[in-house]
Amino acid sequence: MQDLLSVVTLGSIYLLFALGMSLTWGTIDILNFGHGAIFMFSSFTAYLVLQQTELGLPLIMLIGLIVGALMSLLIQVLAFEQIIKRAKDKRAAEMQILIGGIGVAIIPLAIAQHYTKSNPFGFSKSTFKVNTWTMGDLRITNIAALSIVVAVVLWVSAAVWLRRSRQGLALRSIGVDAETAALMGIDRRKMALATMAVAGGMAGLSGVLFTFGLGAITPESGDTLLVKAFACIILGGVGSMRGVAFGAFFLAAAETVVLTQTSGSWVEAVSFGLIFLVLLVRPSGVFGRAEVRRT
């Protein structure tokens, strides 16, 4: 039961991080490889603020949310939009965005590495303290419980919004056929900016919760989580809200089993193994649907 609780806690962090990537990739066709840098730099910014003043958990979470959203918007406006304008076709734009995201991610990574000398940083100066609650033989921290609640609430909200709201329908229509959606009066740029802001905010929020949960992270932590999020999306199916949740908790369960039943040295290989296996057996993912191209 303790291992199961660990799976739910770890899966919630993966879900919160991967949800933003899945949203942008499945709707506006942007696979943002700068997502990990947003995750890390949002926490790093909160860390810098805490060096000047003491803050509680709500304000730190707000800083992470705002910094993540702003960074994501800047990347969209200054990098991805310019790439889309100059690309000769959609396929070329997707590849250039992929490479551009990797390039953009180096900037905040280099800043954090220079300031911290690549040492771990955390929120030790926060007024919020991580406490452990005991229920029989089960133990869970207050930050782990909060992470689970936040991840589930945001996942349900995103799924319902995409399925039931007019804006969600408009966003999904862009993912199916952007040109036809534009002819129907849907402003792709406006929807893309809003989607990137939401995705960045989720990355920043997950960064803060992850830092509190571990006690500290390094500037490279975002890169590690980026691979795990990619595995979650591939496993569940691009653009599927059910899929990204399934992928997040399945990956967390697989890593927990490897960690508890072996020496633990193979944990990092689980993500790559799952990506390779799914691409061989079911390229569209567990909940993905075959793409239909009409000419």
6-59 tens-digit pLDDT: 889 989 999 999 998 888 888 888 888 899 999 999 999 999 999 999 899 999
Q: Which of 192, 193, 33, 22 is nearest to 103 (CA)?
A: 33
The two counts, helices (H) then strands (E), for the chain are: 12, 2
Report the alpha-carbon distance of residue 3 to residue 17 in Å, rounded: 21
**Largest Cα–Cα distance in the chain?**
62
pTM flag (> 0.85): yes
* Count of beta carbons in the 10 Å neighbourhood of residue 88: 8
Q: Are 147 and 213 in contact (CB under 8 A)?
A: yes
Of the pLDDT bands very low, low, confident and very high (cuts 50, 70, 90), residue 292 is very low
Tokens 């942008």 identify what position? Answer: 24
Of the pLDDT bands very low, low, confident and very high (cuts 50, 70, 90), residue 295 is very low
Q: Are 219 and 55 in contact (CB under 8 A)?
A: no
Of the pLDDT bands very low, low, confident and very high (cuts 50, 70, 90), residue 118 is confident
Q: Are 201 and 35 in contact (CB under 8 A)?
A: no
The string of pLDDT tens digits covering residues 45-69 is 999 999 999 899 999 999 999 999 9
The string of pLDDT tens digits covering residues 207-236 is 999 999 889 999 999 888 888 888 888 888
Among residues of the chain, what percentage have pLDDT more than 90?
Answer: 39
- The CA R_g of the chain, rounded to the nearest whole Å, is 19
